[in-house]
């Protein structure tokens, strides 16, 4: 098990223990507050979604994709299969010493399911036509069209957006009930980004005239309030570590997406500003000891499919310096798809990055020595930019797979088996032990 330092970060006594172990020279450089802010919660991490067991896949065999991605009409037999699968996957993580502990997103058919459709004011549209209902040349829908898809499900705002019930409290409680109270802090829970629906839909269609909204800003103002309320609800129920999944921010690094927006008359700088403001709104009043990180990737659909490629260079400064997340989970397993470590030079003091260096897209087990070299290379970029040592720069880093192992029930890396998934997670754990101790 890798925790930093010698326990979950927000555990006060373990941080004091770590602080007292620092040399005098280092205490002069870092206050306790800075240590708390800059260190990642876990040195060995994972993105949260895990391959579904065959029992759960069989129970869900009647659910088709994409028309039922947002289906709330789930039979009791499926719910029972979810409960059993979550119980088993939690026990497997405990047995293997895998942290953080997640439910594998087993209560969802797809990683963003169950959130928007449970907020008042949203309505599921199961079969919107491709490409007409979506942004021009939107990478996901153009990719699905090449696979033969004619429609795609989305959730449209048709009324006042309000938080009347928690979308995910029941899921967190289902995970929590499998853990003793002292391990709640070692769990992590994932939620989708607030811009998930808006970014893919044709401009001007994420909310209808009947909704009462007159601008995208008004739509996001109310949506951010719902997110903030959800963070507080989950916190009050004992959750202390949340990951917001926003793979679509990497689309701003894609020439295809940028050119499509130009065709639609969309100013991509203004659009990105709108999204980053919304992220900050939902974080503005979060509890101080609730850790919230953001995960970015380029897609991990069935058969190792990704939707876009491109370095973080175009968004790195704004991402690191204009959003208020503490941690960024970034994929770096493939230079051609994700670019190199150079964008890490923009990482400011007080924040950290979890390096996604182990692939969920291929069954090949990575060479630990190569992973360590990449960690050192990433630290070198930060050290050079900040004028600190490589050892100090490594304190801002952690290690994980580059994406979840299964974005939906139907997804998964080509050739990646359940056992290979566990081997990769253990590899991450072992390397992190060697690098950070």
For residue 262, pLDDT beyond 90: yes
In a domain, 249, yes or no: yes
In a domain, 307, yes or no: yes
Non-local CB neighbours of 108 within 8 Å, separated by 6+ positions:
114, 171, 408
Place of tokens 């240590």: 35
In a domain, 4, yes or no: no
Lowest mean pLDDT across 63-72, 290-299, 419-428? 63-72
In a domain, 134, yes or no: yes
Structural domain that includes position 40: 12-436
Question: How many residues are there in the chain?
Answer: 437
User: Given this model, what pLDDT does residue 63 score?
Assistant: 67
Non-local CB neighbours of 170 within 8 Å, separated by 6+ positions:
107
More confident residue, 291 or 5: 291
| Percent of the chain clearing pLDDT 90 (strictly above) | 74
* Mean local confidence (pLDDT), 405-422: 86
The alpha carbons of the chain give a radius of gyration, in whole angstroms, of: 21
More confident residue, 173 or 303: 173
For residue 149, pLDDT beyond 60: yes
Q: How far apart are CA 376 and CA 397, in angstroms?
A: 10
pLDDT tier at 178, thresholds 50, 70, 90: very high
User: Given this model, what pLDDT does residue 303 score?
Assistant: 56
* Highest mean pLDDT, choosing among 12-26, 60-74, 199-213: 199-213
For residue 426, pLDDT beyond 50: yes
Whether 154 and 112 have beta carbons less than 8 Å apart is answered as no
Q: How far apart are CA 433 and CA 399, in angstroms?
A: 10
For residue 181, pLDDT beyond 70: yes
User: Given this model, what pLDDT does residue 62 score?
Assistant: 75
Report how many domains make up the chain.
1
For residue 422, pLDDT beyond 60: yes
For residue 226, pLDDT beyond 90: yes
173: domain CATH number is 3.20.20.210
In a domain, 117, yes or no: yes
User: Given this model, what pLDDT does residue 287 score?
Assistant: 97
**pTM, full prediction:** 0.89
pLDDT tier at 3, thresholds 50, 70, 90: very low
* Mean local confidence (pLDDT), 132-145: 92
User: Given this model, what pLDDT does residue 1 score?
Assistant: 38
In a domain, 7, yes or no: no
pLDDT digits (tens, 9 = 90+) for 6-29: 333 333 333 333 444 444 444 444
pLDDT digits (tens, 9 = 90+) for 284-336: 999 999 999 999 987 666 554 556 667 899 999 999 999 999 999 999 977 66
In a domain, 266, yes or no: yes
In a domain, 314, yes or no: yes
Q: Is 379 exposed, middle or buried (0-12, 13-18, 19+ CB in 10 A)?
A: buried
CA atoms within 13 A on the CB side of 167: 26
| Percent of the chain clearing pLDDT 70 (strictly above) | 85
pLDDT tier at 37, thresholds 50, 70, 90: low
User: Given this model, what pLDDT does residue 361 score?
Assistant: 87
């Amino acid at each position: 098990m890798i925790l930093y330092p010698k326990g979950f970060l927000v555990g006060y006594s373990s941080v004091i223990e770590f602080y007292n172990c620092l040399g005098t020279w280092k205490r002069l450089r870092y206050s306790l507050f800075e240590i708390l802010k800059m260190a990642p919660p876990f040195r060995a991490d994972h993105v949260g979604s895990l391959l579904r067991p065959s029992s759960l896949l069989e129970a869900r065999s009647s659910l088709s994709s994409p028309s039922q991605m947002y289906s709330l009409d789930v039979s009791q037999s499926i719910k029972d299969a979810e409960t059993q699968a979550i119980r088993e996957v939690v026990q497997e993580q405990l047995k293997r010493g895998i942290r953080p502990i997640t439910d594998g997103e087993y209560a969802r058919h797809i990683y963003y399911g169950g959130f928007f459709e449970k907020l008042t004011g949203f309505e599921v549209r199961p079969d919107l036509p491709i490409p007409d209902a979506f942004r021009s040349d939107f990478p996901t829908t153009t990719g699905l069209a090449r696979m033969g898809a004619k429609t795609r499900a989305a959730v449209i705002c048709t009324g006042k957006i309000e938080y009347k019930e928690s979308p995910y409290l029941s899921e967190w409680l289902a995970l929590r009930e499998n853990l003793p109270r002292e391990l709640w802090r070692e769990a992590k829970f994932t939620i989708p980004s607030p811009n998930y629906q808006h970014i893919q839909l044709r401009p001007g269609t994420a909310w209808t005239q009947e909704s009462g909204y007159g601008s995208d800003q008004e739509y996001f103002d109310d949506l951010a309030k719902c997110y903030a309320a959800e963070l507080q609800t989950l916190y009050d129920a004992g959750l202390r570590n949340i990951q917001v999944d926003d793979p679509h921010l990497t689309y701003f690094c894609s020439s295809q997406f940028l050119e499509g927006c130009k065709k639609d008359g969309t100013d991509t700088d203004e659009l990105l500003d709108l999204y980053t403001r919304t992220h900050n709104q939902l974080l503005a009043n979060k509890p101080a000891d609730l850790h919230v990180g953001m995960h970015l990737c380029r897609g991990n659909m069935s058969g190792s499919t990704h939707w876009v490629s491109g370095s973080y260079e175009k968004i790195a400064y704004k991402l690191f310096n204009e959003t208020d997340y503490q941690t960024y989970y970034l994929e770096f397993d493939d230079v051609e798809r994700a670019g190199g470590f150079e964008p890490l030079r923009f990482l400011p003091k007080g924040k950290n990055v979890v390096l996604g260096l182990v692939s969920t897209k291929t069954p090949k087990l990575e060479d630990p020595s190569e992973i360590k070299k990449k960690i050192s290379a990433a630290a070198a970029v930060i050290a050079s930019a900040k004028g600190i040592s490589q050892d100090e720069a490594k304190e801002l880093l952690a290690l994980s797979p580059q994406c979840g192992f299964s974005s939906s029930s139907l997804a998964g890396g080509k050739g990646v088996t359940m056992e290979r998934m566990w081997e990769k997670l253990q590899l991450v754990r072992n390397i992190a032990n060697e690098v950070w101790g």
